[in-house]
Amino acid sequence: MEISAIGLAVTVAAAGGGGSFEISTAGIAIGAVLTVGAAVLHFVKGTAWGPTEDITQNVLEHRAKSVPETDFPEPMNRAIGGGGGAVAVGGGDAGGELEEGGDEAGGGSSSPADIPEDEIEHYEIEFVKEGETIEVANNEPLLDAGEDEGWDLPYACRQGQCVSCGGKISGDANELIEHDDQQMLDENEMGDGYVLTCVAYPRGEFSIETSETP
């Protein structure tokens, strides 16, 4: 319709111009042609567009054939496939080991200091240099027992990791002493009677000379 209006306008303009008969005729002709063309275009029925065949299913089937199946990781597992599973299982095993270690630690927690009240025993221990014999419980380190008496006994780490608190007992320390995780004395030295009083719990009666180291 816009083209028709333009043609009509051109026709009117050309006709209204009045300056030349040839121009008016040409304007009318052009206007007529444009008008007819516009009318034809307006009434000619175009070819309706319709969607082509739905190939979605075909595409999906083709893709299913051509793309290998993907293994998605299990929840909480960033690895893909059996390897990841192995890692996860391994982690579980590690956890189990850790738990077992914890149990072992729990076993380790059966420190002499944790002996229950109804299992506590006392031993007569002679502190030679201090000139006294005192009773020391089997859940008390020799160093603590001596300090309870007010004696100024040597020590440093109090964890069995040095020899500052060393002493020598009258007998085999492997039998008469239970060390709580000492890391300094070997079996022979303990056989000679050397102990670390900060972590040495009595398991019998003996005398001890404090401030003695191998």
Residues making contact with ligand FES (CB under 6 A): 155-158, 160-162, 164-165, 196, 198
Instruction: Using the minimum distance from each CB to ligand FES, give the nearer residue, 54 or 186.
Output: 186
Closest approach, Cβ 200 to ligand FES, in A, equals: 9
3-state helix/strand/coil string of 89-143 = HHHHHHHHHHHHHHHHHHHHCCCHHHCCHHHCCEEEEEECCCCEEEEEECCCCHH
Instruction: Using the minimum distance from each CB to ligand FES, give the nearer residue, 14 or 185.
Output: 185
Closest approach, Cβ 82 to ligand FES, in A, equals: 50
Instruction: Using the minimum distance from each CB to ligand FES, give the nearer residue, 20 or 211.
Output: 211
Instruction: Using the minimum distance from each CB to ligand FES, give the nearer residue, 29 or 157.
Output: 157
Output 142-145 pairs: Cβ under 8 A, ≥24 positions apart: 142/167, 142/195, 142/197, 142/200, 142/201, 142/202, 142/208, 143/197, 143/198, 143/200
Closest approach, Cβ 91 to ligand FES, in A, equals: 38
Instruction: Using the minimum distance from each CB to ligand FES, give the nearer residue, 29 or 162.
Output: 162
Residues linked to residue 188 through DSSP beta bridges, in sequence order: none
Instruction: Using the minimum distance from each CB to ligand FES, give the nearer residue, 38 or 201.
Output: 201
Closest approach, Cβ 208 to ligand FES, in A, equals: 14
Is residue 131 a contact partner of residue 193, using CB atoms and an 8 Å limit?
Answer: no
Closest approach, Cβ 166 to ligand FES, in A, equals: 7
Q: In Å, how far from its chain's centre is CA 25?
A: 91
Return the SS3 of 196: strand
User: What's the rounded Cα separation, in Å, for the pair 114 and 133?
Assistant: 24
Closest approach, Cβ 149 to ligand FES, in A, equals: 18
